[in-house]
Structure 1
Amino acid sequence: MLQVEGLTKKFGGFTAVDAVSFSVPQGEILGLLGPNGSGKSTTFNCIAGMLKPTAGSVRLAGEEIAGLTADESCRRGIGRTFQIPRPFRGLSLLENAMLAAHFGAGGHIDKPEAERRARDALRLAQLPDDPQATAHGLGAAGLKKLELARALATQPKLLLADESLGGLDTGEMRQAAEMLKRIRDERGITIVWVEHIMGVLLSVVDRVVVLDHGAVIFKGTPAEAQDDPKVAEVYLGPPETRAA
């Protein structure tokens, strides 16, 4: 579903993403891990069209999409959430999701179809589809669900989930992780999930790619990641600096 080859993004003389390559088969959940500043979000933004890569290739279902704008990438079938939710607070939850549906995959759709897609996405995200329900009063978990619903309303082939666990307590983290797994299982949507929190993510994803200083330092299964010395050093520091 997704093939990233030699993806590089430079800001002046600073290389934020350095020749990153990985692939994601149809129906897989891939965890993209790394500490803060490792290049995870920049990689995401290059895939989703928020940033234009300096070099490299990004293919979605065999189609080259590197350099497309965010709206063009969305219409090709990429949906994404953002680390910091910014809903349209003057609109209802249903209207937020309908707006996303209008700009999603499949081109222009009429209002009834947008409403159908929006209601389906809200139900998947376990949010009310009551036209009177608004974002006012939603906590961190509710706002993350609305981000997810808006992304799902675009009818994505590939969902890019950006730090879906940030700001949640332990129980909410587990619920968010299980929701992503259920969406993959029920709808067959391929997911790339960016996180710096390892624990809950590793119980859900099929494989992980770990970045550090913009480069890939590990690819493999969650179990292999937990035993890898490079991954341990990135997250825990060099052995000599760790507490006994």
Structure 2
Amino acid sequence: MSQALLRASGIDVRFGGVHALRDVAVSVRPGEVCGLIGPNGAGKTTLFDVLSGMRRPDAGSISYDGTDITRRSPVWRARHGIRRTFQRQQLFGQLTVTDNLVVAQDWRGGARPAARLRRARAAAVLHECGLDPLAGTYAGALPVGRARMVELARALADPPRVLLLDEPASGTTAQERRELAAVIRHMADEEGCAVLLVEHNVAFVMELCSRVVVLDLGRVLAEGTAAEVQADPAVREAYLGTGPDPGGATTELPDAGA
């Protein structure tokens, strides 16, 4: 089994008197799709902020490929292959879909031949994501489901080593979720990308992820395969009383084996 590519250890985060994360440890290996689930307020997005460098933890460390990056900036992490999408869409609405992907590569600089290569790369990724017909569409005009796929495509435009996906299936249709899952599996299985995803659609997580981590009240409540997590009594208790989200997903934990 390969070693973890991205690892968080002993992560603590406080917001005044609120202890958002308590001694959290999580890791993801190359070629693995790991799910991060938990009730609202469990600390999932805060942990993503720490992993992506947008928030420095009050305690704990982050290592990437064996090197401590706890103090590295979000820009450094992104340029070294750690890419993130957001719960709220962050597309450049006044740019076309193609240009959203080109912009993601522009930090590399270079003259006109480099620009042509970036557009060629953008076209290849759009094709892989089934977005060819939308290449010239302004991103601000896209429905939610297509915008989610464009965000994923933009994260892939400059080939990533780690993908941090924050609710990629939110607001999508069943068909769009299948398409998202296919692209994510391809990145893990064929490209060796390490994928960590936060998602309220538990069924999506259980079908897609080989390993699942459950957060509750800022702590790791459980970790294991989908079947192990589904059967854990503490996990079921944490999910009691939850219901459907506005996107048609559910935070109710499905029965083991469902």
Q: Same fold (TM over 0.5)?
A: yes
1:41 is aligned to: 45
TM superposition shift of 1:190: 1.0
TM superposition shift of 1:183: 2.3
Give the distance between the partners of 1:76 and 1:129, measured in 2 at CA.
31
Query: What are the ranges of 5 or more consecutive residues in structure 1 without an aligned counterpart?
Result: 239-244
Please list the CA deviations of residues 66-108 of structure 1 after superposition, one character each: whole Å capped at 9, or x if unmatched.
Answer: 13221111012101111121211221111111111224xxx54
Asked if structure 1 preserves the Cα contact closer than 8 Å seen for 2:93 and 2:141, the reply is no
Moved more, 111-120 or 12-21: 111-120
Partner of residue 221 from structure 1, selected from 206, 225, 228 = 225
Partner of residue 209 from structure 2, selected from 181, 205, 208 = 205
TM superposition shift of 1:131: 5.6
Relative to structure 1, is the Cα distance of residues 200 and 138 closer, same or farther in structure 2, using a 3 angstrom cutoff?
Answer: same
Q: Name the % identity.
A: 37
What is the one-letter code of the residue matched to 2:195? I
Asked if 1:143 corresponds to 2:144, the answer is: no
Give the distance between the partners of 1:108 and 1:64, measured in 2 at CA.
27
Relative to structure 1, is the Cα distance of residues 88 and 233 closer, same or farther in structure 2, using a 3 angstrom cutoff?
Answer: same
Give the distance between the partners of 2:127 and 2:67, measured in 1 at CA.
31
Asked if structure 2 preserves the Cα contact closer than 8 Å seen for 1:209 and 1:216, the reply is yes
TM superposition shift of 1:154: 2.8
Give the distance between the partners of 1:62 and 1:221, measured in 2 at CA.
25
Relative to structure 1, is the Cα distance of residues 186 and 129 closer, same or farther in structure 2, using a 3 angstrom cutoff?
Answer: farther
1:5 is aligned to: 9
- Which secondary structure does the structure 2 equivalent of 1:71 belong to? helix
Root-mean-square deviation (Å): 1.9
Partner of residue 236 from structure 1, selected from 240, 244, 252 = 240
1:185 is aligned to: 189
2:36 is aligned to: 32
2:251 is aligned to: none
TM superposition shift of 1:111: 1.6
Asked if structure 1 preserves the Cα contact closer than 8 Å seen for 2:94 and 2:140, the reply is no
Give the distance between the partners of 1:185 and 1:88, measured in 2 at CA.
29
Asked if 1:164 corresponds to 2:179, the answer is: no
- Which secondary structure does the structure 1 equivalent of 2:105 belong to? helix
Asked if 1:63 corresponds to 2:67, the answer is: yes
Asked if structure 2 preserves the Cα contact closer than 8 Å seen for 1:8 and 1:16, the reply is yes
Partner of residue 176 from structure 1, selected from 177, 180, 183 = 180
- What is the TM-score normalised by the length of structure 2? 0.85
Relative to structure 1, is the Cα distance of residues 9 and 129 closer, same or farther in structure 2, using a 3 angstrom cutoff?
Answer: farther
Asked if 1:74 corresponds to 2:78, the answer is: yes
1:242 is aligned to: none
Query: What are the ranges of 5 or more consecutive residues in structure 2 without an aligned counterpart?
Result: 243-258
Asked if structure 2 preserves the Cα contact closer than 8 Å seen for 1:94 and 1:129, the reply is no
Relative to structure 1, is the Cα distance of residues 230 and 144 closer, same or farther in structure 2, using a 3 angstrom cutoff?
Answer: same
